[in-house]
Copies of this chain bind each other. A is one copy, B any other.
Amino acid sequence: MIIITRPDITDAELDHIRERIEAVGLHTHLSRGEKRTIIGCIGDESLLQELPLRSIPGVENVLAVLKPYKLASREFSVNRSIVRVGASAAIGGQELVVIAGPCSVENRGMLRETADAVRGSGARILRGGAFKPRSSPYSFQGLGREALALLADVRAEYGLPVVTEVLDTRDVDLVAEHADMLQVGARNMQNYALLSELGRVQRPVLLKRGLSATISELLMAAEYIMAHGNRQVVLCERGIRTFERATRNTLDVSAIPVLQRETHLPVIVDPSHAGGDAALVAPLAFAAIAAGADGLIVEVHPSPEDALSDGDQSLDIPAFDALMQRLPAFAAAAGRALTLDGTTALAGAAVA
């Protein structure tokens, strides 16, 4: 932490600032410039986190030297993390992983049809919403427990691990019983009660970036889960909110290389929510892989115009298959692999 003092600081104020810092166990180091004196704080910067340094008289500005995340940081783990999902999928390795499925689980038939199709096209994990965070209380809220049971059945039938969103701390154990991976939605990225609870289960978590969360805040949300005991976190860039309204959100494709520099955790991209438009899914998916993403999560519905949620941005089955056919070339250009046949990413792992 570096403290920049006001030009008119008094010696007494300077001494007081130093005392406050030294009282929590750091050393201070003065550097007197022509216009400002700068106080360097040497030691464990996290000890200063609780100190409202800007409110101390004489302080003009406070600049952080270190990043606030630890377990999530690149310095914590030299190797990139690989997060295994179910028996057959692993995110973060050389092989890219595509997660696909309907926004909401609507009934058994559509879920089976979608699972069968996306597996055939090369998806490795099935997505499907049971509890839906809808902006209107009058909209379809998901089938809840019934959907969880359907997901578990279809998982067994097709051998695809499943990921589904959890909205409520009270549902974490229930969802963890039925799903291989638990999703935190964008609107809950800073729901700290939920993040803490997810730190206590041993299930991989798919953590979506909040609509206006900085990359640093996304990593701090991951840090919450990790600090509470669960290190299996996959980050998901899904578009941020900007002034532009031609698309539902603005895919922050730069976040992919920035995250790879800052963290060892895998990073996937959701091109469906980013663009909010089925016609944009393919170009955004290509861009994500080109920029180095470890995978994708794509909304697929057998009949988007009949979907109970997110139909506007869902691909139908042929469109998803067409997308998948084009991905391996982008993966190869990016120095990665994407295998479309039934061979799994995990050497020797068997798909049921």
Question: A: which residues have CB within 8 A of B?
Answer: 2, 4, 7, 20, 29, 31-36, 38, 40, 42-44, 46, 49-56, 63, 65-66, 68, 75, 131, 133-140, 167-170, 187-188, 190-193, 196, 210-212, 214-217, 220, 223-224, 227-228, 240-247, 250-258, 261, 274-275, 277-280, 283-284, 286-292, 304-305, 307-312, 314, 326, 329-330, 332-334
Contact = CB atoms under 8 A, between A and B. Distances in A.
Given A212-B212, A278-B55, A140 B283 contact: no
Given A212-B211, A307-B52, A254 B258 contact: no
A286 B220 CA distance: 28
Contacts of A52: 304-305, 307, 310-312, 314
Nearest to A42: B33
A8 to B, nearest CB: 10
A245 to B, nearest CB: 7
Contact of A228 (B43, B137, B217, B283): B137
A167 B187 contact: no
A241 B241 CA distance: 10
Contacts of A40: 31, 33, 38, 40
Contacts of A212: 210-212, 241, 243
Given A137-B196, A246-B254, A329-B329, 11 more contacts: A2-B38, A36-B66, A50-B308, A68-B135, A136-B220, A169-B169, A240-B242, A251-B253, A254-B283, A286-B291, A333-B333
Given A20-B305, A50-B139, A257-B279, A286 B65 contact: no
Residue with the highest number of chain B CB atoms closer than 10 Å, among A75, A210, A245, A287 = A287
A38 B63 CA distance: 12
Nearest to A20: B305
A43 B34 contact: yes
A167 B333 CA distance: 39
Nearest to A61: B65
Contacts of A54: 277, 311-312
B274 A254 contact: yes
The 3 closest A-B pairs by CB, nearest first: A52-B311, A212-B212, A290-B290
Contact of A42 (B31, B53, B289): B31
12 contacts: A31-B31, A35-B66, A55-B307, A68-B136, A136-B223, A137-B227, A167-B191, A246-B258, A250-B252, A251-B252, A286-B333, A289-B290
Residue with the highest number of chain B CB atoms closer than 10 Å, among A51, A135, A289, A311 = A135
B250 A242 contact: yes
